[in-house]
Structure 1
């Protein structure tokens, strides 16, 4: 501890500057915890407990770091895993935290990092993405097809469009040749 004394600007208490520094770190950790989306707050509290070494508590610095590592991807709504960004809305985080907390008896505790949670988030995101893609394919498959209108190239297949364009080009070339021959005959007769 320091031999110097500092005064708290809020309450006027005297104590060493180190205590005030520790309090600032605690305030930052509490502020980060308060920024967590409401549906996740209790789950995050339990999840952070999975990092606690047996027979002792967390250091405030470690809790602050763990919360910051979680808060960034939660607020961004995505995580980066295996070279890809995965969408991670609050519902996905809620599911992933529930899964990790439910499996805590099979996990090697205390946890060292967020890798397992992030894998569960990416897996759930992948599953939801696949379900959405399947629904989209079903919707498109069951969507009634538009009748083909000869004037509407959108309703035609590419082969038919290309054939019509080629026919127009042949006709244009044939007209041009006929005109050139007629011009040559006119010039020859003069």
Structure 2
């Protein structure tokens, strides 16, 4: 005689579950955790982040967790995001900093939960990228120096300092050196025009 299946009621919502369903669900959760740990960058932080989507006193379904991670995974792998029509670099340390900021905001009750999308995270990532770009612009290049208000390469600066060259003129000459060379076809065309003008004279 087959032993009757034991029925267990969820203490939170009253849903009836068999013991087999409960054990199967736990196995699925463990398999999901192993899969995330192996395939998702910064898995421990990503799992904590997607928990922000869970309503109060509830857990996300396995299907919802997978869907949320699938939405993030392409950008995590390419280390960039698209936010408000613009591409932003998003290295892993930026993702870590952004998620940590959100977790801190949650702990300080400054984050409206549950989350309904990734917009907040991507706004933080874009803000970090913008701040990083601004700092990079403010930092002088290692191979340049400033002489009398003009930023120039070190070699040009030495000419100015030791060769008594005017810094403004040196900057113009440096810019000319960096300009793209004139194409051969254009140079030949100019030569022909000059030759024609000389013949007409």
**Which TM bucket (shorter chain)?**
0.5 to 0.7
Distance 1:20 1:131, change over 3 A: same
Partner of 2:119: 115
Mapping for residues 67-78 of structure 1, pairs under 5 Å? 67-78=69-80
Q: Aligned partners of 2:129, 2:34: CA distance in 1, in Å?
A: 29
1:54 aligned to 53, 56, 65, which one?
56
* Residue 94 of structure 1: aligned partner: 96
Residue in 2 aligned with 1:80? 82
Question: Structure 1: where are the runs of 5+ without partners?
Answer: 1-14, 158-164, 179-190
Cα distance in structure 2, aligned partners of 1:29 and 1:156 = 54
- Between structure 1 and structure 2, the one with the greater Rg is 1
Matches within 5 A, 1:1-190: 27=31, 30-37=34-41, 40-104=42-106, 105-135=109-139, 140=144, 141-144=151-154, 145=156, 154-155=176-177, 172=195, 175-177=198-200
- Structure 1 residues 171 and 49: alpha-carbon distance in aligned structure 2, compared to 1, 3 A threshold: closer
Equivalent pair of 1:25/1:61 in contact (CA under 8 Å):
no
Using the size of structure 2 for normalisation, the TM-score is: 0.58
Counterpart of 1:64 in 2: which secondary structure? helix
Shift of 1:84: 0.9
TM-score where L is the length of structure 1: 0.61
Q: Distance in 2 between matches of 1:156 and 1:128?
A: 27
Structure 2 alignment gaps of length 5 or more: 1-19, 145-150, 160-169, 180-186
Change (3 A) 1:83 1:172: same
Cα offset for 1:82? 1.0
Q: Report which of the two has the higher share of helix.
A: 1
* Structure with the largest fraction of strand: 2
Residues 156 and 139 of structure 1, relative CA distance in 2, 3 Å threshold = closer
Distance 1:29 1:56 in 2: 18
Aligned length in residues: 149
SS of the counterpart of 2:56? Answer: coil
Q: Residues 73-100 of structure 1: CA distance to partner in whole angstroms, max 9, x if unpaired?
A: 1111111011111111101111111111
- Residue 33 (structure 1) shift: 4.3
Shift of 1:175: 4.3
Once superposed, which parts of structure 1, at least 4 consecutive aligned residues long, lie more than 6 Å away? 19-26, 168-171
